[in-house]
Amino acid sequence: MRNIESVTYNGEKIILLDQTKLPLEEVYLEIDSVKDVWDAIVQLKVRGAPAIGIAAAYGVALGASQLKEEDYESFVAKYEEISQYLASSRPTAVNLFWALNRMKNTLVANKEQPVVEIKQILWNEADAIKKDDAEICKSIGEHGLTLLKDGMTLLTHCNAGGIATAKYGTALAPIYLAKEKNMDIRVFADETRPLLQGARLTTWELMQADIDVTLITDSMAAMVMQQGKVDAVIVGCDRIAANGDTANKIGTYGLAVLAQKHNIPFYVASPLSTIDLETETGADIPIEERSDEEITCGFGKQTAPNSVKVFNPAFDVTPNDLITAIITEKGIIRAPYTESLKNLF
Protein backbone atom coordinates (compact mmCIF):
# COMPACT_ATOMS: atom_id res chain seq x y z
CA MET A 1 0.00 0.00 0.00
CA ARG A 2 1.27 3.45 -0.89
CA ASN A 3 1.69 5.58 2.23
CA ILE A 4 0.32 9.04 1.40
CA GLU A 5 1.02 11.49 4.22
CA SER A 6 -1.66 14.16 4.46
CA VAL A 7 0.09 16.09 7.26
CA THR A 8 3.78 16.22 8.07
CA TYR A 9 6.56 18.58 9.19
CA ASN A 10 9.89 18.85 7.38
CA GLY A 11 11.80 20.75 10.05
CA GLU A 12 10.93 24.14 8.59
CA LYS A 13 7.36 24.06 7.33
CA ILE A 14 4.16 22.06 7.76
CA ILE A 15 3.41 20.06 4.61
CA LEU A 16 -0.27 19.42 3.83
CA LEU A 17 -1.80 17.39 1.04
CA ASP A 18 -4.34 19.79 -0.48
CA GLN A 19 -7.39 17.56 -0.57
CA THR A 20 -9.41 20.18 -2.48
CA LYS A 21 -7.22 19.47 -5.53
CA LEU A 22 -7.89 15.73 -5.59
CA PRO A 23 -8.46 13.59 -7.58
CA LEU A 24 -6.95 15.39 -10.57
CA GLU A 25 -3.91 16.92 -8.88
CA GLU A 26 -1.75 15.72 -5.98
CA VAL A 27 -0.58 19.05 -4.58
CA TYR A 28 1.33 19.58 -1.33
CA LEU A 29 1.17 22.92 0.47
CA GLU A 30 4.15 24.32 2.40
CA ILE A 31 2.74 26.24 5.35
CA ASP A 32 4.68 28.56 7.66
CA SER A 33 1.96 30.58 9.40
CA VAL A 34 -0.81 29.79 11.89
CA LYS A 35 -3.32 31.65 9.73
CA ASP A 36 -2.56 29.33 6.82
CA VAL A 37 -3.14 26.30 9.08
CA TRP A 38 -6.50 27.78 10.16
CA ASP A 39 -7.43 28.49 6.55
CA ALA A 40 -6.45 24.96 5.47
CA ILE A 41 -8.73 23.43 8.11
CA VAL A 42 -11.68 25.74 7.35
CA GLN A 43 -11.31 25.32 3.58
CA LEU A 44 -11.05 21.50 3.90
CA LYS A 45 -7.57 21.42 2.42
CA VAL A 46 -6.90 19.18 5.38
CA ARG A 47 -9.91 17.21 6.62
CA GLY A 48 -10.86 14.11 8.53
CA ALA A 49 -11.08 14.38 12.32
CA PRO A 50 -7.68 12.76 13.13
CA ALA A 51 -5.86 14.70 10.39
CA ILE A 52 -7.43 17.95 11.63
CA GLY A 53 -6.11 17.15 15.11
CA ILE A 54 -2.62 16.45 13.77
CA ALA A 55 -2.65 19.66 11.72
CA ALA A 56 -3.79 21.66 14.76
CA ALA A 57 -1.00 20.16 16.88
CA TYR A 58 1.61 21.12 14.31
CA GLY A 59 -0.08 24.50 13.88
CA VAL A 60 0.11 25.41 17.56
CA ALA A 61 3.72 24.20 17.69
CA LEU A 62 4.47 26.39 14.67
CA GLY A 63 2.85 29.40 16.28
CA ALA A 64 4.72 28.80 19.54
CA SER A 65 8.04 28.56 17.70
CA GLN A 66 7.46 32.02 16.20
CA LEU A 67 6.74 33.76 19.52
CA LYS A 68 9.34 36.26 20.78
CA GLU A 69 8.39 36.05 24.46
CA GLU A 70 11.12 34.51 26.61
CA ASP A 71 9.46 34.34 30.04
CA TYR A 72 7.03 31.52 30.63
CA GLU A 73 3.95 33.54 31.69
CA SER A 74 4.08 35.87 28.69
CA PHE A 75 4.77 32.94 26.39
CA VAL A 76 1.75 31.03 27.73
CA ALA A 77 -0.55 34.03 27.30
CA LYS A 78 0.37 34.33 23.61
CA TYR A 79 0.24 30.55 23.19
CA GLU A 80 -3.35 30.52 24.49
CA GLU A 81 -4.37 33.06 21.84
CA ILE A 82 -2.94 30.81 19.11
CA SER A 83 -4.63 27.71 20.52
CA GLN A 84 -8.02 29.42 20.81
CA TYR A 85 -7.72 30.75 17.27
CA LEU A 86 -7.06 27.26 15.88
CA ALA A 87 -9.89 25.85 18.01
CA SER A 88 -12.31 28.18 16.20
CA SER A 89 -11.65 26.57 12.81
CA ARG A 90 -14.17 23.67 13.01
CA PRO A 91 -16.67 23.14 15.83
CA THR A 92 -17.79 19.53 15.33
CA ALA A 93 -14.61 17.43 15.08
CA VAL A 94 -13.62 16.75 18.68
CA ASN A 95 -10.10 15.59 17.71
CA LEU A 96 -9.24 19.24 17.08
CA PHE A 97 -9.87 20.11 20.74
CA TRP A 98 -8.38 16.84 21.98
CA ALA A 99 -5.08 17.55 20.17
CA LEU A 100 -4.93 21.16 21.37
CA ASN A 101 -5.62 20.02 24.94
CA ARG A 102 -2.86 17.42 24.70
CA MET A 103 -0.46 20.09 23.47
CA LYS A 104 -1.51 22.42 26.33
CA ASN A 105 -0.94 19.66 28.88
CA THR A 106 2.55 19.16 27.47
CA LEU A 107 3.20 22.89 27.78
CA VAL A 108 2.11 22.93 31.43
CA ALA A 109 4.02 19.75 32.29
CA ASN A 110 7.26 21.40 31.11
CA LYS A 111 6.79 24.82 32.68
CA GLU A 112 10.10 24.55 34.54
CA GLN A 113 11.99 24.25 31.24
CA PRO A 114 13.38 27.28 29.37
CA VAL A 115 10.97 28.61 26.74
CA VAL A 116 13.37 27.76 23.94
CA GLU A 117 13.32 24.11 25.02
CA ILE A 118 9.53 24.11 25.43
CA LYS A 119 9.22 25.11 21.77
CA GLN A 120 11.10 21.97 20.71
CA ILE A 121 9.14 19.83 23.16
CA LEU A 122 5.93 21.02 21.51
CA TRP A 123 7.22 19.99 18.07
CA ASN A 124 8.11 16.60 19.53
CA GLU A 125 4.62 16.24 20.97
CA ALA A 126 3.01 17.03 17.62
CA ASP A 127 5.19 14.33 16.05
CA ALA A 128 4.07 11.94 18.80
CA ILE A 129 0.40 12.70 18.13
CA LYS A 130 0.91 11.81 14.49
CA LYS A 131 2.85 8.62 15.30
CA ASP A 132 0.24 7.55 17.84
CA ASP A 133 -2.55 8.09 15.32
CA ALA A 134 -0.91 5.78 12.79
CA GLU A 135 -0.65 3.04 15.43
CA ILE A 136 -4.23 3.65 16.60
CA CYS A 137 -5.59 3.40 13.07
CA LYS A 138 -3.79 0.11 12.51
CA SER A 139 -5.30 -1.25 15.74
CA ILE A 140 -8.76 -0.12 14.64
CA GLY A 141 -8.15 -1.94 11.36
CA GLU A 142 -7.08 -5.14 13.12
CA HIS A 143 -10.21 -5.18 15.27
CA GLY A 144 -12.43 -4.25 12.34
CA LEU A 145 -10.90 -7.00 10.24
CA THR A 146 -12.46 -9.59 12.59
CA LEU A 147 -15.88 -8.44 11.32
CA LEU A 148 -15.02 -9.04 7.66
CA LYS A 149 -15.09 -12.18 5.55
CA ASP A 150 -13.50 -12.89 2.22
CA GLY A 151 -15.79 -11.78 -0.62
CA MET A 152 -17.73 -9.18 1.33
CA THR A 153 -18.88 -5.88 -0.15
CA LEU A 154 -18.88 -2.84 2.12
CA LEU A 155 -20.50 0.55 1.70
CA THR A 156 -18.82 3.68 3.08
CA HIS A 157 -19.64 7.36 3.17
CA CYS A 158 -17.42 10.45 2.93
CA ASN A 159 -13.70 9.71 3.45
CA ALA A 160 -12.33 8.03 6.55
CA GLY A 161 -9.19 6.71 4.92
CA GLY A 162 -5.45 7.22 5.12
CA ILE A 163 -5.57 10.84 3.94
CA ALA A 164 -8.00 11.67 6.77
CA THR A 165 -5.54 10.33 9.35
CA ALA A 166 -1.81 9.64 9.78
CA LYS A 167 -2.09 6.26 8.00
CA TYR A 168 -4.66 3.55 7.18
CA GLY A 169 -7.67 5.63 8.21
CA THR A 170 -10.47 4.53 10.49
CA ALA A 171 -13.35 3.13 8.43
CA LEU A 172 -11.00 2.13 5.62
CA ALA A 173 -8.34 0.61 7.90
CA PRO A 174 -9.91 -2.89 7.97
CA ILE A 175 -10.18 -2.76 4.16
CA TYR A 176 -6.50 -1.91 3.76
CA LEU A 177 -5.47 -4.68 6.17
CA ALA A 178 -7.73 -7.11 4.31
CA LYS A 179 -5.91 -6.16 1.11
CA GLU A 180 -2.56 -6.86 2.78
CA LYS A 181 -3.88 -10.35 3.63
CA ASN A 182 -5.04 -10.88 0.02
CA MET A 183 -8.71 -10.95 1.01
CA ASP A 184 -11.24 -10.02 -1.66
CA ILE A 185 -13.14 -7.04 -0.25
CA ARG A 186 -15.17 -4.79 -2.53
CA VAL A 187 -16.38 -1.29 -1.71
CA PHE A 188 -19.27 0.95 -2.70
CA ALA A 189 -18.35 4.59 -2.09
CA ASP A 190 -21.11 7.19 -1.77
CA GLU A 191 -20.17 10.35 -3.66
CA THR A 192 -21.06 12.33 -0.48
CA ARG A 193 -22.77 15.56 -1.39
CA PRO A 194 -22.18 18.47 -1.48
CA LEU A 195 -18.36 18.39 -1.59
CA LEU A 196 -17.98 14.86 -2.96
CA GLN A 197 -15.40 13.54 -0.51
CA GLY A 198 -16.40 10.00 -1.44
CA ALA A 199 -16.12 10.59 -5.18
CA ARG A 200 -12.97 12.72 -5.04
CA LEU A 201 -11.09 11.19 -2.14
CA THR A 202 -12.25 7.69 -1.14
CA THR A 203 -12.30 6.34 -4.67
CA TRP A 204 -8.94 7.97 -5.40
CA GLU A 205 -7.12 6.48 -2.44
CA LEU A 206 -8.70 3.03 -2.79
CA MET A 207 -7.73 2.97 -6.46
CA GLN A 208 -4.19 3.95 -5.43
CA ALA A 209 -4.19 0.77 -3.31
CA ASP A 210 -5.71 -1.37 -6.09
CA ILE A 211 -8.86 -2.04 -4.08
CA ASP A 212 -12.09 -2.79 -5.96
CA VAL A 213 -14.24 0.32 -5.50
CA THR A 214 -17.49 1.36 -7.22
CA LEU A 215 -18.75 4.94 -7.01
CA ILE A 216 -22.47 5.59 -6.47
CA THR A 217 -24.49 8.71 -5.77
CA ASP A 218 -25.81 9.09 -2.24
CA SER A 219 -29.36 8.43 -3.44
CA MET A 220 -28.37 5.02 -4.88
CA ALA A 221 -27.46 3.51 -1.50
CA ALA A 222 -31.03 2.35 -0.82
CA MET A 223 -31.22 0.48 -4.10
CA VAL A 224 -27.91 -1.36 -3.79
CA MET A 225 -28.93 -2.42 -0.29
CA GLN A 226 -32.34 -3.56 -1.55
CA GLN A 227 -30.63 -5.61 -4.25
CA GLY A 228 -28.55 -7.44 -1.67
CA LYS A 229 -25.26 -5.99 -2.89
CA VAL A 230 -24.08 -4.66 0.50
CA ASP A 231 -22.93 -6.87 3.37
CA ALA A 232 -22.09 -4.10 5.84
CA VAL A 233 -21.79 -0.34 6.16
CA ILE A 234 -18.69 1.13 7.79
CA VAL A 235 -18.15 4.83 8.39
CA GLY A 236 -15.85 7.08 10.37
CA CYS A 237 -17.03 9.86 12.67
CA ASP A 238 -16.23 13.31 14.00
CA ARG A 239 -17.63 12.97 17.50
CA ILE A 240 -19.28 10.27 19.60
CA ALA A 241 -21.36 11.37 22.59
CA ALA A 242 -21.35 9.52 25.90
CA ASN A 243 -24.49 7.59 24.95
CA GLY A 244 -23.11 6.45 21.57
CA ASP A 245 -24.91 8.99 19.38
CA THR A 246 -22.46 9.73 16.56
CA ALA A 247 -21.86 12.82 14.44
CA ASN A 248 -20.47 12.19 10.98
CA LYS A 249 -20.66 13.70 7.50
CA ILE A 250 -24.17 14.68 6.45
CA GLY A 251 -25.95 11.68 4.95
CA THR A 252 -24.63 9.15 7.47
CA TYR A 253 -27.86 9.10 9.49
CA GLY A 254 -29.85 8.19 6.39
CA LEU A 255 -27.49 5.30 5.66
CA ALA A 256 -27.97 3.97 9.18
CA VAL A 257 -31.77 4.04 8.78
CA LEU A 258 -31.46 2.22 5.45
CA ALA A 259 -29.08 -0.35 6.91
CA GLN A 260 -31.50 -1.16 9.72
CA LYS A 261 -34.38 -1.48 7.24
CA HIS A 262 -32.38 -4.02 5.20
CA ASN A 263 -30.88 -5.90 8.21
CA ILE A 264 -27.34 -4.80 7.31
CA PRO A 265 -24.83 -4.19 10.13
CA PHE A 266 -23.83 -0.55 10.54
CA TYR A 267 -20.36 -0.03 12.00
CA VAL A 268 -18.67 3.16 13.19
CA ALA A 269 -14.85 3.23 13.31
CA SER A 270 -13.45 5.65 15.87
CA PRO A 271 -10.27 6.34 17.82
CA LEU A 272 -10.77 7.04 21.52
CA SER A 273 -9.83 10.68 20.84
CA THR A 274 -13.12 11.09 18.94
CA ILE A 275 -15.20 9.87 21.89
CA ASP A 276 -16.47 12.79 23.97
CA LEU A 277 -17.78 11.63 27.33
CA GLU A 278 -18.37 15.26 28.33
CA THR A 279 -21.11 15.49 25.68
CA GLU A 280 -24.10 13.58 27.01
CA THR A 281 -26.08 12.93 23.82
CA GLY A 282 -26.02 13.72 20.13
CA ALA A 283 -28.39 16.63 20.74
CA ASP A 284 -25.51 18.38 22.52
CA ILE A 285 -23.04 18.06 19.63
CA PRO A 286 -22.52 21.40 17.81
CA ILE A 287 -23.23 20.97 14.10
CA GLU A 288 -21.24 23.13 11.74
CA GLU A 289 -23.22 24.94 9.05
CA ARG A 290 -21.24 25.89 5.97
CA SER A 291 -21.65 28.42 3.20
CA ASP A 292 -24.59 28.39 0.77
CA GLU A 293 -22.18 28.38 -2.17
CA GLU A 294 -21.08 24.80 -1.44
CA ILE A 295 -24.54 23.74 -2.62
CA THR A 296 -25.53 26.45 -5.08
CA CYS A 297 -22.18 26.91 -6.84
CA GLY A 298 -20.20 23.76 -6.11
CA PHE A 299 -16.92 23.46 -8.00
CA GLY A 300 -17.46 26.69 -9.92
CA LYS A 301 -20.78 25.80 -11.58
CA GLN A 302 -23.99 27.49 -10.44
CA THR A 303 -26.71 24.87 -10.10
CA ALA A 304 -29.45 26.80 -8.25
CA PRO A 305 -31.32 30.08 -8.72
CA ASN A 306 -29.86 33.30 -7.35
CA SER A 307 -30.97 34.12 -3.78
CA VAL A 308 -32.50 30.68 -3.11
CA LYS A 309 -32.62 29.85 0.61
CA VAL A 310 -30.11 27.14 1.58
CA PHE A 311 -29.63 24.92 4.62
CA ASN A 312 -26.16 23.39 4.64
CA PRO A 313 -25.26 21.43 7.80
CA ALA A 314 -21.96 19.63 7.33
CA PHE A 315 -22.83 16.78 9.71
CA ASP A 316 -25.77 14.81 11.04
CA VAL A 317 -26.14 12.66 14.14
CA THR A 318 -26.85 8.93 14.00
CA PRO A 319 -28.75 7.74 17.10
CA ASN A 320 -27.03 4.98 19.05
CA ASP A 321 -29.82 2.46 18.46
CA LEU A 322 -28.95 2.35 14.76
CA ILE A 323 -25.28 1.51 15.40
CA THR A 324 -24.43 -2.19 15.41
CA ALA A 325 -20.98 -1.69 16.92
CA ILE A 326 -18.22 0.88 17.38
CA ILE A 327 -14.71 -0.21 16.39
CA THR A 328 -11.93 1.38 18.47
CA GLU A 329 -8.23 0.76 18.99
CA LYS A 330 -9.14 -1.04 22.24
CA GLY A 331 -11.64 -3.35 20.63
CA ILE A 332 -15.21 -3.59 19.37
CA ILE A 333 -17.94 -2.33 21.68
CA ARG A 334 -21.70 -2.71 21.49
CA ALA A 335 -24.79 -1.37 23.26
CA PRO A 336 -25.48 -0.27 25.91
CA TYR A 337 -22.98 2.39 24.83
CA THR A 338 -23.33 4.52 27.95
CA GLU A 339 -21.57 1.71 29.80
CA SER A 340 -19.31 0.27 27.10
CA LEU A 341 -17.89 3.67 26.09
CA LYS A 342 -17.19 4.59 29.69
CA ASN A 343 -15.40 1.28 30.24
CA LEU A 344 -12.95 2.08 27.43
CA PHE A 345 -11.44 4.78 29.62
Catalytic annotation, residues = 238
Give φ, ψ of 92 to 5 degrees.
Answer: -90, -40
Rounded Cα distance, 91 and 94, in Å:
8
CA separation, residue 249 to residues 7, 193, 252, 314 (Å):
21, 9, 6, 6
The pairing of strands 266-269 and 325-328 is: parallel
- Other C-beta atoms closer than 10 Å to the C-beta of 330 total 15
Give me the long-range contacts of 99-105 (CB less than 8 A, separation at least 24).
99/53, 99/54, 99/56, 99/57, 99/129, 99/273, 100/56, 100/57, 100/60, 102/57, 102/129, 103/57, 103/60, 103/61, 103/129
Check residue 331 and give left, alpha or beta (phi > 0: left; psi -120 to 50: alpha): left
The sign of the torsion formed by the CA atoms of 216, 220, 226, 231 equals positive
Q: Are 197 and 249 in contact (CB under 8 A)?
A: yes
Give residue 268's identity as a one-letter amino acid code. V
- Going by C-alpha positions, the residue among 193, 191, 158, 155 that lies closest to residue 175 is 155
Rounded Cα distance, 254 and 245, in Å:
14
3-state secondary structure of 240: strand
Task: Give per-residue burial for 108-123: e unless 16+ CB within 10 Å, then b.
Answer: eebeeeebeebbebbb
Q: Count how many Cα atoms sit within 13 Å of the Cα of residue 167 in the half-sphere of its side chain.
A: 15
